[in-house]
Structure 1
């Protein structure tokens, strides 16, 4: 189980919903949360962060902030 924090360049709630829908389709995702103030998307589960970023970069500017064990 991992906790992945991504920096996403999203502009509004419509973009937020689209990004969350995109990452919810991955196998192994257990929880998703988005902090619009800091523009950070947090995923918890057994998911490959590189594949998630690859998928999100097709639409948004995305960077990996941290990957670590979930508490």
Structure 2
């Protein structure tokens, strides 16, 4: 469920009716609301890009916000007192992880630093 708020720019009542009809015809729409500031709020399982693409054929349309629709709060279930507190369902402790010891490398020796390290034949 998404709540999409769109800013529309239409000029007359006929365009307003076309916008409402087009918005309600998009698949997955559950509710459509248009307020005085020409903001269209569409709620449902919709793709905002598809909605804007269809509405831009009628008038200028911009996305203001896209977010989850607020669902009614559900009552929290209280845990039952007679149930045991999951000792049988616990996972065993993880095995310890052993890492190999680090390998230390000596920096390369260059000829300028140690002339005795080079052998010239």
Query: Normalized against structure 1, the TM-score is what?
Result: 0.92
Unaligned runs of 5+ in 2: 71-121
Give structure 1 regions of 4+ aligned residues with deviation exceeding 3 angstroms. none
The structure whose RCO (Cα within 8 Å, separation 6+) is larger is 1
Q: Greater share of helix residues, 1 or 2?
A: 1
- Larger Rg, first or second structure (1 or 2): 2
CA distance in 2, matches of 1:69, 1:13: 30
Q: Is the 8 A contact 2:24 2:32 kept in 1?
A: yes
C-alpha root-mean-square deviation of aligned residues, in Å? 0.8
Within 5 Å, give how 1:19-58 maps onto structure 2. Answer: 19-35=19-35, 37-58=36-57
Greater strand proportion:
1
